Copies of this chain bind each other. A is one copy, B any other.
């Protein structure tokens, strides 16, 4: 039997456009072209199309299908394994998404009745997630995998009281820093108090303290747009001011 595009399309349950497209991308060429320029397909092409549609239904992209079917040296089984891995990854992402959407809906409807402890754990996880997303890659490169993991571990192990203490400290830093900024003197008492509070805050996260690391972090607050924006939110220049204060505090600069 020979088939024109439409006959083949009906046979396979797809559109003629699809068939022409498959010709276009070279994945399914007609057996021949007749004198009027019509595409004519034979039994071999029907079989090939079945194969293509089979892989298509498994969600394999046409380019990969092409490789699987054209290159005989290509390992079809391995390609499917790869494909499966991609699908599983996709499902993981999707599960995360779904969980987040559900959470958001629940929160919006106000019918979230978590215990304080659960809420607290939720906060911690959310913070870690956000942190990872925003700075994860660079921080890991800068400080090393181990340091970051230790820091996160320390954070995860915080009690509710410690967490409250640390958020309180954060507020104190911000406030003191804002007041110090008004004085304009990074060596002044207020600025040094801010730097000290900042150190205390930091020690909730860092496995160990060093002046050099503290000063380095202060420099990053200025260099990195995202950190800078956080400190400059109310008053532009605050990030620089904090750096100066910390440089003095750590004795790197008088």
Nearest B residue (CB) for A230 = B11
Contact status B105-A81, CB under 8 Å: yes
A94-B97 in contact given A7-B225, A133-B13, A233-B1 (Cβ < 8 Å): no
**Per-position contact with B for A224-250: 1 when CB-CB < 8 Å, else 0?**
111001001100100000000000000
B91 touches A57 (CB 8 A): no
In the complex, what residues of B have CB within 8 A of residue A77's CB? 105, 108-109
A98 closest partner in B (C-beta): B87
B58 near A83 with CB under 8 A, answer: no
Residues of B within 8 A of A58 (CB): 97, 100-101, 104
A57 to B104, CA, bound (A): 12
Q: Which residue of the partner chain, among B43, B80, B94, B133, contacts A104 with CB atoms under 8 Å?
A: B80
A-side interface mostly: helix
CB distance from A40 to the nearest CB of B (A): 14
A80 and B98 in contact, given A229-B1, A229-B7 (Cβ under 8 angstroms): no
Contacts of A216 in B (CB 8 A): none
Within 8 A of B (CB), among A69-105: 76-77, 80-81, 83-84, 87-88, 90-91, 94-95, 97-98, 100-102, 104-105
Which A residues between 1 and 43 are near B, CB-CB below 8 angstroms? 1, 3, 7, 10-11, 13, 43
**Bound Cα distance A10, B223 (Å):** 11
Q: Cβ of A144 < 8 Å from any Cβ of B?
A: no
A 102-118 binary contact with B (CB < 8 Å = 1; else 0): 10110011000000000
Interchain nearest-CB distance for A65 vs B (Å): 13
Classify chain A: how many residues form its interface, as a range.
35 or more
Residues of B within 8 A of A87 (CB): 94, 97-98, 101
Cβ of A134 under 8 Å from chain B: yes
Least CB separation from A9: chain B residue: B225
Task: Say yes or no: A233 contacts B43, CB within 8 Å.
Answer: yes
- What are 26 A-B pairs at a CB distance below 8 A? A1-B229, A1-B232, A1-B233, A1-B236, A3-B229, A7-B225, A7-B229, A10-B225, A11-B229, A13-B133, A13-B134, A57-B97, A58-B97, A58-B104, A59-B97, A76-B108, A77-B105, A77-B108, A80-B104, A80-B105, A84-B101, A84-B105, A87-B94, A87-B98, A91-B91, A91-B98
Q: A46-B229, A80-B101 are in contact. List 6 more A-B contacts (CB 8 A).
A: A10-B225, A13-B134, A13-B226, A59-B97, A76-B108, A90-B94
